[in-house]
Structure 1
């Protein structure tokens, strides 16, 4: 009879990821399609090679400063959910919830959808029937026209495959992440090696003469009238977004071995490693193409233009393969990490209850993975995910600033707590990150108040949801 009342043991995460796995999650989540396209966009605003390289160096250092601050928080609180937990503990449950709400409904799911479509676009180079040009369904309702193309279906398939892989254990997800991250870095390294050995470029492209008096952007049209500082700020924002998603590994903190040491190390190693990859890649582009020529590359596909100049027509196909590898690995990292946030929210009674359960065998948040996969697929089908990303692009940076500031808040709030790792260069390093990031947040709001205002509205819509789940939690406690 005693067995009748036996309480089933709660399923918990298992720490199976090492330092290499954690570092690959950081690097793989950051390196997507941006490095193959963003340098051309940036060159339009800042067609000066020395400053182009400086942008990537400064962006990398700033990102590393943020990672250093996150290291202290993760070492102090190595819990599933990462940034959600930090914001909850430093400020309030509602702020942590608003971060998780925005992450689920817009930021992470939107990125997953966008990266999956990017994969599909380049698959279309080899299989035209699976491109965006292949329309499957088209109709119009009350003046609103909807078009479904085959690339969207490919994107959904990618999301589905990677979601399934990550349901079968964090180790399977990590194997895919390691394989594709190493592959994408190797592909970039191969392009660099070939460019500098047989590319027939010119080092003078990297050292063009420059004067502030004669400076002016050359693309896009709205940038041509910008002054140096405005152009520098906009170009820097593109670099910072290419460095985004570096904090993904903090979401899976409970699944990393010796998290007090390995997560801070992986954050710093990963962000600095990506900075090195980005800087060398941009030096390669500039070695082959002058900055002004980079800015005018069709569709901003600068990596394809460089490869085509080296390999001929074959170059575009080689870069298409490299981007497919890069985007597939990037999406895997995004899909793997974020469900741990939704799991933590559900455990706090602030999300769908089923999201707070782990699979008894695989120890993965299967329900959270499925919820994320379904919503990402909806955004892929809707065709509105790019707009959603535009509206809330500043939100990711805003939450990052608040999280770095949490280092100061928590040192005052919990001075007695053990901190196995402390922020290097405190307080200068986190202050520098906060000041520079705030400059870009203000610039985004001033430059596009409509989009940023709508993005803030999407975040604030989470407040009624928080009230609903909070009340439901209280009712459950009383039952």
Structure 2
């Protein structure tokens, strides 16, 4: 299992913005509309505003960690540094759940969009083919993958702006507020995971930080520009879609935007076909970007001894974590075959919230335990911003567990084998020879040498 384990630095700020927005942008195309079933349009708007406040404060705080510790492990690296090996395990597990279970939901939507255009094409066939294609693209190289991500992300953003421009003249406040009488506070809380879907995975830029050319400058630009872009798109798409007709017709499909466009201009209109055709880019951008993210997390966990070592090896030609990419793809396809899009979204949201909680806790802990740590970007209005992010994340986690006890139980149950492996391999991790002074971690024979700067793993 030889081979280098240091990732190439090939990404600039525009690439990172493309990853930040691309990771998330499929959330503007589908998935969020399931929240209307729980809360109606008005209640879901309140849920979205609460979640937006959490993400805005979280990203401004999370950027401090990403620039201070720019490693492929992302939250795993921050939590391990703050809370030791067990903290790293919790963060790594949560990140994997978020990033491994989001792609199958996105792949299902990709298949549904193609099926909308070509009814004879099977949804599942397209979804599985997408896994094969995009796992392969990521194996070819991160620079090529990031360039592709940037292109499809820009096209997806343009398409959402076109959608808003076409349907805006048909927007009616009376349509948006109609049929909301049966919903209340409980509905707002039940809709939280679908509001999270608007922004879920933006933190995945952290997993590409080790490949950034100048992380101290490029990452803050990418994160701040990314969250502002997504707030505008999320609120614009959700509000306008809810006001073009009877929103209940869009609340239980994997392609709400084409359905809304069809109400305005007709199902056979060129505008509708263009939305579906170009709209695929938004779904592809997130699918492709999250695959990149989960592969870096698996790579980092394996490199630190939390997963089998072969998952940390890089392709001899392309220097990408090919086994990590393939392993995540296999798990994703198995989850895809369940056909449970809403449940997969909720499971991903559980992972995300645990990740946000432990990341914000790590920020507070490191401010105290390691005040000398170089922080090129510091969370504004500290401790208010990270405090708000932490409090809202914890509140949302409790709410989601209350409304989704079965999925919460599965989330906890899946942690048990990960914890078992963690205990069984403690001796292997302890045998790693760490040269703190030189800034290099030399690992056991056959696992290569890690890149400079990884001493906290």
Which residue of 1 is the match for residue 29 of structure 2?
Answer: 36
Which residue of 1 is the match for residue 260 of structure 2?
Answer: 306
Task: Please tell me whether residue 258 in structure 1 is matched to residue 250 in structure 2.
Answer: no
Structure 1 pair 414–279 and aligned structure 2 pair: CA distance change class (3 A): same
Return the alpha-carbon distance in structure 2 between the equivalents of residues 43 and 386 of structure 1: 12
- Contact 1:117 1:380 survives alignment (8 Å): yes
Question: RMSD between aligned alpha carbons?
Answer: 2.8
**Match for 2:160 among 159, 175, 188?**
188
Structure 1 pair 103–386 and aligned structure 2 pair: CA distance change class (3 A): farther
Structure 1 pair 9–71 and aligned structure 2 pair: CA distance change class (3 A): same
Return the alpha-carbon distance in structure 1 between the equivalents of residues 251 and 49 of structure 2: 26
SS of 1:423's equivalent?
coil
String of CA shifts for 1:18-64, please: whole Å, max 9, x gaps: 111111111111111x4334554334444465x65454344223212
Q: CA deviation at 1:447?
A: 2.5
Structure 1 pair 54–370 and aligned structure 2 pair: CA distance change class (3 A): same
**Match for 1:85 among 54, 74, 77?**
77
String of CA shifts for 1:165-214, please: whole Å, max 9, x gaps: 11121111111111111111111111111223xx44445656x69xxxxx
**Match for 2:12 among 14, 18, 36?**
18
Give runs of aligned pairs for residues 68-83 of structure 1, distance below 5 A.
Answer: 68-83=60-75
Structure 1 pair 57–322 and aligned structure 2 pair: CA distance change class (3 A): farther
Task: Point out where structure 1 has 5 or more consecutive residues left out of the alignment.
Answer: 1-7, 132-150, 210-215, 219-223
Compute the TM-score of the two structures, normalised by the length of structure 1: 0.82
Structure 1 pair 475–153 and aligned structure 2 pair: CA distance change class (3 A): farther
Task: Point out where structure 2 has 5 or more consecutive residues left out of the alignment.
Answer: 434-443, 446-457
String of CA shifts for 1:400-420, please: whole Å, max 9, x gaps: 111112110111111121111
String of CA shifts for 1:120-161, please: whole Å, max 9, x gaps: 122122333322xxxxxxxxxxxxxxxxxxx33322221111
**Match for 1:336 among 287, 292, 312?**
292
Give runs of aligned pairs for residues 296-445 of structure 1, distance below 5 A.
Answer: 296-297=249-250, 299-300=252-253, 301-314=255-268, 317-381=273-337, 383=339, 387=343, 390-391=346-347, 393-445=349-401
Which residue of 2 is the match for residue 60 of structure 1?
Answer: 52
Give runs of aligned pairs for residues 268-279 of structure 1, distance below 5 A.
Answer: 268-279=224-235
**Number of aligned pairs?**
431
- Contact 1:44 1:296 survives alignment (8 Å): no
Compute the TM-score of the two structures, normalised by the length of structure 2: 0.85
